[in-house]
């Protein structure tokens, strides 16, 4: 009897707690998660499981609206003055100087297929080097030139071995091309090929210079709308007014050097610091 009374008391407390808990959660008769409900079809009352989502009947709080922003107001225009123009998109930056050789690889230069040419490679010092060829060895630029007038083209060149030109620098002159020959016709002729169909040994740009082996020489040509100039180191070798003159290439293999080319005739040579520069206005 003692145990039966304890069990009845436990059952009574258990269900009392369950009823109280259910009512506090769901505000309706039931025990724990079981609600006493009437079946709509049969009309009978029975217990059914209730979930906590049923008890949440409060409407959700509306989402906070983002603060409205006023469109920026333009500054008032004073009477008699026009409105300031809107800032234009930034124009692409004009390139005034281009390094044509990086000392690592040929890049956009191509070995010129003269036939019988020597090796062309970048040596361990990072210089472009030409080996001996049966005739001419050289490279030519594989893209359109940056400009055909109002520019300057420069490089440094060194003769290693041989007895003819170690530089034949071909370059555009407006709608044509010319070649600045350094050390041609046996090693000493300097000049432009061709002017009025006369090569560098025949026209007024010709001069005779001596060139030592294993010495770097800075070669520079400048083309403007009116004039063609060339320098060896700081000495001006050519000054030619272009008005009324025919500028062209010597017919033959050198025509393969367009639009920009470097060549040597039966001579080993090295080259470095190849740079194209746009001439500032007025220079």
pTM, 2 dp? 0.67
pLDDT at 117 over 90: yes
Asked if 275 and 99 touch (Cβ cutoff 8 Å), the reply is yes
CATH number of the domain located at residue range(s) 97-278 in this protein: 2.60.120.560
Distance from C-alpha of 228 to C-alpha of 18, rounded to nearest angstrom: 107
Band of pLDDT at residue 59, cut at 50, 70 and 90: very low
Provide the pairing of β-strand 120-122 with 30-31.
unpaired
pLDDT at 43: 63
The arithmetic mean of pLDDT across residues 63-67, rounded, is: 50
Kindly report, residue by residue over 34-47, the tens digit of the pLDDT.
666 666 566 666 66
Kindly report, residue by residue over 203-222, the tens digit of the pLDDT.
999 999 999 999 999 999 99
Band of pLDDT at residue 29, cut at 50, 70 and 90: confident
Asked if 28 and 20 touch (Cβ cutoff 8 Å), the reply is no
For the chain, the structural domain boundaries read 2-53, 97-278
Write the secondary structure of the chain as one string of H (helix), E (strand) and C (coil): CHHHHHHHHHHHHHHHHHHHHHHHHHCCCEECCEEEEECCCCCCEEEEECCHHHHCCCCCCCCCCCCCCCCCCCCCCCCCCCCCCCCCCCCCCCCCEEECCCCCCCCCEEECCCCCCCCEEECCCCCEEECCCCCEEEEEECCCCCCCCCEEEEEEEEEEEECCCCEEEEEEECCEEEEEEEEECCCCEEEEECECCECCCCCCCCEECCCCCCCEEEEEEEECCCEEEEEECCEEEEEEECCCCCECCCCCHHHHHCCCEEEEECEEEEEEEEEEEECCCCC
Kindly report, residue by residue over 222-263, the tens digit of the pLDDT.
999 999 999 999 999 999 999 999 999 999 999 999 999 999
Kindly report, residue by residue over 259-278, the tens digit of the pLDDT.
999 999 999 999 999 999 99
Band of pLDDT at residue 95, cut at 50, 70 and 90: confident
pLDDT at 140: 98
């Amino acid at each position: 009897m003692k145990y039966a009374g304890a069990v009845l008391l436990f059952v009574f407390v258990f269900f009392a707690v369950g009823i109280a808990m259910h009512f506090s959660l769901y505000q309706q008769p039931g025990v724990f998660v079981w609600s006493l409900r009437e079946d709509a079809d049969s009309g009978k009352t029975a217990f059914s499981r209730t979930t906590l989502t049923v008890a949440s009947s409060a409407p959700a709080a509306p989402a906070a609206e983002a603060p409205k922003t006023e469109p920026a107001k333009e500054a008032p225009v004073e009477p008699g003055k026009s409105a300031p123009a809107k800032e234009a998109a930034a124009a692409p930056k004009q390139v005034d100087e281009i390094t044509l050789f990086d000392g690592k690889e040929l890049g956009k230069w191509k070995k010129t297929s003269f036939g019988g040419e020597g090796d062309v490679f970048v040596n361990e010092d990072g210089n472009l080097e030409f080996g001996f060829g049966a005739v001419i060895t050289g490279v030519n630029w594989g893209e359109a030139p940056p400009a055909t007038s109002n520019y300057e083209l420069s490089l440094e060149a060194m003769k290693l071995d041989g007895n003819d030109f170690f530089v034949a620098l071909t370059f555009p002159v407006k709608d044509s091309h010319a070649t600045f020959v350094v050390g041609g016709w046996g090693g000493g002729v300097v000049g432009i090929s061709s002017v009025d169909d006369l090569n560098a040994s025949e026209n007024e740009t010709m001069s005779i210079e001596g060139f030592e082996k294993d010495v770097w020489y800075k070669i520079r040509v400048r083309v403007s709308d009116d004039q063609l100039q060339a320098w060896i180191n700081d000495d001006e070798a050519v000054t030619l007014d272009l008005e009324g003159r025919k500028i062209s290439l010597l017919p033959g293999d050198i025509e393969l050097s367009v639009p920009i080319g470097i060549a040597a005739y039966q001579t080993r040579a090295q080259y470095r610091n190849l740079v194209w520069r746009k001439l500032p206005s007025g220079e």
